[in-house]
Every structure is written in C-alpha cells, then in structure tokens.
Amino acid sequence: MTLTRIVPLLLAILWGFNWPAVKIGLSEVPPFALRMVGLGVGALLLALVAWAIGRSMGVPRRSWGPLLIAGVFNIAGFNLATVFAQLTTSTSRAAVLTFTTPLWAVLFAWLFLGERLDRYRWMALGIGLAGVAVLSAPLLSGEIRPLGILFPMLAAVSWAIGTVYQKANPIGGDRVAVTAYQLLIASAVAGVGFVIAGETLPTSVSMPVAWALLFHVVGATAIAYLLWFLLLDRSTAGTAALATFSIPVVGVLGAMALVGDRPSGLDYVGFAAILAAAGVTLFAPQPRPD
C-alpha cells in the first residue's frame, strides 16, 4: 500500500476517533486545561521531530503576522470551539456540524478572494444549509441547547477563515515547524482561558481518561498533523480531501462505540445532507477563472 493511500486512512482513524477521545477526557479534565496541555505537548513533540530530522525552525519575519493569525483561527478557535461543542451537544452532532468547514471555506473564498462559485458549489451550499437546519430542528422542542449548534458552527467557520486567510497570505518556513508554532500559539490562547476561567489541572485521572489523553496528544495532535503535512507534500489536493471526507464518518461510529451516542433518524438525514454537500464541494470540477 502506497503512502498516499495509507496516510488518508490513518488520518481518518486518528482525527475521527479523536472526537470520542476528547469527550472521554472532558469527563475529568476542564476544557481550557485539556486544550492548553494537549496542544502544548503536541507542539513540543513536533518541535522535537523537526530537530531530530534536521528541519529548520526559522520563519521569515514577514510570516510571523500571518502565522499568528492563522494559529488563532486554524487551531485555537477551532479546537476551543470543538471542545465546548462536546460539552453542549452529542459528539456525533458536533463532529458532523464541524465538517461544514468546506462549505464556509468556499463561501469565504468567493467573498474575500474573488473565487468563482459554480453551480456545483451553490448546490453544495444549499444542501449543506438544509442539513444544518435538520440537525438544528431539535432546538424547537428544547431537546438540545442553542450552544450545541453554535459551538460546532463557530469551529467550522474559524477553520474556514484560517484556511482562506492562509491561502491569501502564505506562511514561509518548514511545514513541520510552522505547524508546531501554530499549535504553540493555540496552546497559549487556551492558557489565557485557563487562567481567566480559574481552572486547575487534575492531580490524577482514571486509566480510561489517561489512555484517551495519550491518544489525543500523541496520535491525534502530533502524529496526525505531521501526517497531514506529509500528505500535502506528496499527493494531490483530491487525495488530501479524501482524508477529511472520512473523518466525520469515523467520528460518528467512534462516538457510538465508545461514548454511547445514539443518533436519531432525523440526525442521520442531517448527517447525510452535510456529507453529500461536503462531497460535492471537495470533488466537484474546479471552476474556470473569470
């Protein structure tokens, strides 16, 4: 099996199962603390990898501004919003709503970069918004809280803004080093929240939580981000997109197996709509420039 075939599979497993892993971790670790430590240790591990393989940690001076902004939106905003999403709604709903990121990225690229929207992408936006509406329907009966929709959508929008911004403002430097810096920036943002919220680190955790945190920090943060940038270096954009397309599917299945999620029939309709919309966005022909 070639690298470009096995890496998407590994990413789907690592990032998909990270959803229930974080849910388990949150049972004993406060949200800001979990992100502060998880992202910080992930940054340290990536920095050690960069040092071990002889990569430069230098970043051009002109790139520090874009690096800071990208780190805030790509990783800090996304990770903090997803962790609070898991505290306010089911893991499966949070995972799928967050996967509306490709739809928002297409919309923001049209608004701010002038990228053309063709009929496929208009169709994807319509289907995706319909899926969001279906997943939001339980708000009317009080089955879920408004924050259970708001936080996953904030995560998706934050990631999309970071993606579009970084596309418009490329960051110089080695990709492993740049990722480590973005993780470190996000850890610092979470650290500010940790202090303001008055959280404390637990003195001990149970064995299931310890294993979940180990998977989250080493597997889903350090290793997964390293694999992601390796994939981007060695494959086409379509292959990389395939990795993200599989994540919410694995996330839902993992949530059902590990944390007892039981989506309703209406949930599955919303899931299918969002996955269909994301699939159209990711795999539709590229629009011709105006």
DSSP state string for 61-86: GGGHHHHHHHIIIIIIIHHHHHHHHH
Residues 6+ apart with CB under 8 A from 29: 37, 201, 202, 205, 209, 213
Determine the distance from the C-alpha atom of residue 202 to the mean position of all C-alpha atoms in its chain, rounded to a whole number: 25
Position 24 confidence tier, pLDDT thresholds 50, 70, 90: very high
CB 288 within 8 A of CB 138: no
pLDDT of 219 over the 50 cut: yes
This prediction has a pTM of 0.85
**Does the residue 289 lie in any domain?**
no
**Does the residue 148 lie in any domain?**
yes
- Least confident stretch, 37-41, 86-90, 182-186, 240-244: 240-244
Render pLDDT for 115-174 as a digit per residue (tens, 0 to 9): 777 788 788 888 888 888 888 888 777 777 899 899 999 999 998 898 888 878 888 888
User: What pLDDT does 198 receive?
Assistant: 97
How far is it, in rounded angstroms, from Cα 209 to Cα 184? Answer: 23
User: What pLDDT does 157 receive?
Assistant: 92
pLDDT of 8 over the 90 cut: no
pLDDT of 240 over the 60 cut: no
**Does the residue 288 lie in any domain?**
no
**Does the residue 167 lie in any domain?**
yes
**Total domain count for the chain?**
1
How far is it, in rounded angstroms, from Cα 81 to Cα 269? Answer: 24
- Domain containing 16: what range? 7-283
Q: Measuring CA to CA, which residue among 16, 26, 11 is closest to residue 212?
A: 26
CB 222 within 8 A of CB 42: yes
**Does the residue 2 lie in any domain?**
no
User: What pLDDT does 2 receive?
Assistant: 60
Position 30 confidence tier, pLDDT thresholds 50, 70, 90: very high
**Does the residue 46 lie in any domain?**
yes
Tell me which range, 63-67, 110-114, 226-230, is most confidently predicted by mean pLDDT: 63-67
- Least confident stretch, 148-162, 199-213, 270-284: 270-284
Position 238 confidence tier, pLDDT thresholds 50, 70, 90: very low
CB 82 within 8 A of CB 94: yes
Both structure tokens of 46: 């990536």
Residue type, 246: S
Tell me which range, 87-91, 103-107, 112-116, is most confidently predicted by mean pLDDT: 87-91
Determine the distance from the C-alpha atom of residue 282 to the mean position of all C-alpha atoms in its chain, rounded to a whole number: 16
Higher pLDDT, 273 or 202: 202
**Does the residue 1 lie in any domain?**
no
